[in-house]
Amino acid sequence: MTIELESEFLNYLATCPDSLDGKLPPMNELAEKLGMSVSKLREQIEVARALGWVAVRPRRGIETLPFTPAAAASLSMRFALAEDRGFFDQIEELREVIEANFWYQAVEALNPQDKQLLSDLMERAWALLKGNPVQIPHKEHRELHLTIYSRLDNVFVKGFLQAYWDAYESVGLNVFTDYPYLEAVWNHHQQMVSAIRQGDFEHGHRALLEHFGILQRRPASGTDGTGKAAELELTPRDISGSI
């Protein structure tokens, strides 16, 4: 069964035999092969490049890339957010469902190097949060969550989660500076990572769900609408991460 992609180049890309080095024929040759003009082919290649399925490099030509839906999902999310920032709530909701449901499968697949990386990320994050001046460990935040799910044998889950973090950054949550909120989030991360290292995956799952509970009380932006920093009402249990 042939699935039509409404693009001669995408049809070719999806069905062409894999070459050893991933290279495709030169553009002139490829245009002739597909029976289209070079200008039309260039437009279709640009679509594939934006979707993350090919790379076009000087002197190397067109190269295929391993399939991932991450770029396509990221572009779709960011387009939606450009229209209405409120779409982020729906993206966040789906992210929480995915992470919660794939937790056990994901953490059981982690190897010792992955677990050490999680510990290293925690150490780096706390150093930033407790430094002077305080720094937001956003890079560590993104890498920690993506590392937890990195061994899943599901490109769509991993692609969506990568796109989620692009959306997170697009709406400015990577610069959210409410310190009690950050402390509460990272205490729950500590619970999750410690549970993973100890093989207590159920405890880690509970910490993840508690973590999501804090996220749901996070203001939609870092301000309260008057330009002042928004404040969260957090309990001592929220901040400590105890579950």
The residue type of 213 is: G
Six-digit token string for 110: 């982690």
In the chain, the N- to C-terminal Cα span, in Å, equals 51
What was the pLDDT predicted at 1?
65
What was the pLDDT predicted at 242?
54
What was the pLDDT predicted at 178?
81
Render each residue's pLDDT in the chain as its tens digit; 243 residues: 678 898 999 999 998 865 556 889 999 999 999 999 999 999 999 999 999 999 998 888 899 999 999 999 999 999 999 999 999 999 999 999 999 999 999 999 999 999 999 999 999 999 999 999 989 999 999 999 999 999 999 999 999 999 999 999 999 988 877 888 899 999 999 999 999 999 999 999 999 999 999 887 765 544 444 433 344 454 444 545 555
**What kind and span of H or E run contains 96?**
helix 87-108
Closest CA to 62 of 24, 89, 103: 24
Q: How far apart, in whole angstroms, are the C-alpha atoms of residue 21 and residue 133?
A: 48
pTM for this structure?
A: 0.85
What was the pLDDT predicted at 185?
92
What was the pLDDT predicted at 233?
52
Left, alpha or beta for 143 (phi > 0: left; psi -120 to 50: alpha)? Answer: alpha
Sketch out the chain's domains with CATH numbers: 8-64 (1.10.10.10), 70-240 (1.20.120.530)
What was the pLDDT predicted at 59?
81
Compute CA 94 distance to the chain's CA centroid, rounded to the nearest angstrom.
12
Q: How far apart, in whole angstroms, are the C-alpha atoms of residue 13 and residue 35?
A: 15
